Amino acid sequence: MVTYVKLGSLQANATHSEAAAVAPAERLPEQEAAAHGHPSTGQPAVEIAGVRKSFGAVHALRGVDLRVMPGHVYGVLGPNGAGKTTLLRIVLGLVRPDGGSVTVLGGRPGHPETLKGIGALVESPAFVPYLSGRTNLKVLARARGLPNDEVARVLQVVDLTDRADERFAGYSLGMGQRLGVAAALLGSPGLLILDEPTNGLDPEGVASMRTFIRRIGEQGTTVLLSSHLLSEVQQICDRVIVINNGRVIADDTVSAVRARTGATVLKIWASPTDEAGPVLTEILDRSAPVGDDSDESMSSEDAATGSVPEAGAGADPTTPRVGAGSACPVRVEDQDQPYWRLETTPEIVPELVRGLVRAGIAVHEIRRERPSLEDVFFTLTRDDADPAPVANEGGRR
């Protein structure tokens, strides 16, 4: 079966040896099962229940519950040391959890049969430095029992064919990253685990990689994508998992997570610009829904009301969250004209306009925007702050 995958500047005539290459709509149930390595019965590709992992005194994961459903592109977000890489390594069987259960593609993590259905790029790509990219891939392909044709295919997919016979040590960061992705694609796995796949790529490469990940997701491959680039997750993924302090604090569709705070981002162009700031602050302070805008008091309130969902809580929307520091207007130095940016509820907009006009400030424009994933991420992770020690990336101490 041959599918033509266009990857922006990277074009590849991708010959998939297995049914994973077939678009979901074209697939027979048996092909679907073969692509994902588990029965097509709605069974999760990855099911994690109560998983804990500590490295000495450092608690990397503190009871993670998670279900990764097949055919979705999941973005795994979290600050440094949140436990993302530890979680991915547990899924791959590289790290054994202290407790809880993990099922991957219907089997045990790290089991040879399970690993056949998984492709992974964890942290930075690692290869034998003085061997060529092609030889490095051949070594891995042989371990999977794949022919050399498969190496040529994945090199073409990542647009590295021309440089494949150069030594890996001479590769740029971006080329190394593409080789790592190529290694993950060997055998057209049903579950793809990519840790920072666009790291080191040039803008064109980043765009191509994003397009490529979206395409393989559309073709039915389950993707777990860890990234620090929130905009990237917003663009590529249809679901997002937010991990902080070793717990899953959000697991939902990207749009549902973005709607979670209930807040709106306002951009206000007014003049004189400098005088608008104090007026906006005063209105927000006075406004009942905003209340106390200090981080500390808002976090306490959230903790008391349980508005931040616990691990694996799913889609329950939280109570509207305004203020909490992000409500404070922030002056943004736009290229044309500076403006004020603030997070608040839509109901307060008329009061803001009235207050500005009463203060003799001309309001030129007000734009209402949904909070980005980045806005929500910072709100979620800030409110979930925990002073207990957490692991560094990769669980290293």
Partner 1 sequence: MINAFASETLLLRRRPMPLVVGGAWTIMVLAFAFGVPYIVYSVLDPATEQADRAELLDTLIPASVPATSASSYPLFGGALMLILGVLMTGPEFRWNTWTARFTQGPSRTDVILAKIAVGAVATFVIAVIVAAASTLASFIIALVEGAPTGLPSAADLVASVGAATLISTAWMSVGAALGVVFRGTTVALAVGLLWTLGLENAISGLAGMLSALEPVRAVMLGTASGSLVSSLGAPTQGEGGTPGVVDDLSTSAACVVLVAYAVISTVVALAVSRRRDIT
Q: Does residue 49 belong to the site contacting partner 1 (CB under 8 A)? A: no
**Is the four-CA dihedral 278, 280, 286, 292 of positive or negative sign?**
negative
Among 89, 178, 247, 382, binds partner 1 (CB under 8 A): 89
Q: Does residue 129 belong to the site contacting partner 1 (CB under 8 A)? A: yes
Q: Does residue 140 belong to the site contacting partner 1 (CB under 8 A)? A: yes
Q: Does residue 93 belong to the site contacting partner 1 (CB under 8 A)? A: yes
Q: Which of 20/324 has CB closer to partner 1? A: 20
Cβ atoms of 66 and 240 closer than 8 Å = no
Alpha carbon distances (Å) from 34 to 19, 23, 73, 147, 216: 7, 13, 18, 19, 16
182 contact partners, CB below 8 Å, separation of at least 6 = 133, 137, 154, 155, 157, 158, 160
Query: Tell me, what DSSP letter sits at residue 348?
Result: G
Instruction: Say whether 142 sits in a helix, a strand or coil.
Output: helix
Among 49, 69, 139, 152, binds partner 1 (CB under 8 A): 139
In this structure, the strands spanning 362-369 and 264-271 are antiparallel
For the bound state, the minimum distance from the C-beta of residue 165 to partner 1, rounded and expressed in Å, comes to: 12
Q: Does residue 130 belong to the site contacting partner 1 (CB under 8 A)? A: yes
Q: Which of 137/249 has CB closer to partner 1? A: 137
Of 345, 44, 8, residue with least CA distance to 222: 44
Q: Does residue 9 belong to the site contacting partner 1 (CB under 8 A)? A: no
Taking CB under 8 A as the binding criterion, the range among 41-49, 132-140, 317-325, 341-349 that sits at the site for partner 1 is 132-140
For the bound state, the minimum distance from the C-beta of residue 277 to partner 1, rounded and expressed in Å, comes to: 47
Q: Does residue 173 belong to the site contacting partner 1 (CB under 8 A)? A: no
Q: Helices marked H in the chain — which ranges? A: 29-36, 84-92, 112-115, 133-143, 148-157, 173-185, 203-218, 230-236, 254-258, 273-286, 295-305, 349-358, 373-383
For the bound state, the minimum distance from the C-beta of residue 341 to partner 1, rounded and expressed in Å, comes to: 40
Query: Tell me, what DSSP letter sits at residue 9?
Result: T
Taking CB under 8 A as the binding criterion, the range among 28-36, 72-80, 237-245, 388-396 that sits at the site for partner 1 is 388-396
Q: Does residue 144 belong to the site contacting partner 1 (CB under 8 A)? A: yes
Q: Does residue 68 belong to the site contacting partner 1 (CB under 8 A)? A: no
# binding residues, partner 1 (CB under 8 A): 36
Q: Which of 103/381 has CB closer to partner 1? A: 103
Among 9, 23, 28, 142, binds partner 1 (CB under 8 A): 142
Q: Does residue 138 belong to the site contacting partner 1 (CB under 8 A)? A: yes
Interaction residues for partner 1, span 109-128 (CB under 8 A): 110-112, 115-116, 118, 120, 122-124, 126-128
Hey, how many other C-beta atoms are within 10 angstroms of the C-beta on 32? 20
Of 193, 209, 140, 192, residue with least CA distance to 168: 140
Distance from C-alpha of 302 to C-alpha of 250, rounded to nearest angstrom: 15
For the bound state, the minimum distance from the C-beta of residue 122 to partner 1, rounded and expressed in Å, comes to: 6
- The widest CA-to-CA distance across the chain, in whole angstroms, is 75
For the bound state, the minimum distance from the C-beta of residue 55 to partner 1, rounded and expressed in Å, comes to: 8
Q: Does residue 81 belong to the site contacting partner 1 (CB under 8 A)? A: no
- DSSP code per residue over 62-127: EEEEEEE-TT-EEEEE--TTSSHHHHHHHHHTSS--SEEEEEETTB-TT-HHHHTTEEEE-SS---
Q: What are the residues binding partner 1 (CB under 8 A)?
A: 55, 89, 92-96, 110-112, 115-116, 118, 120, 122-124, 126-131, 135, 138-140, 142-145, 183, 186, 394-396
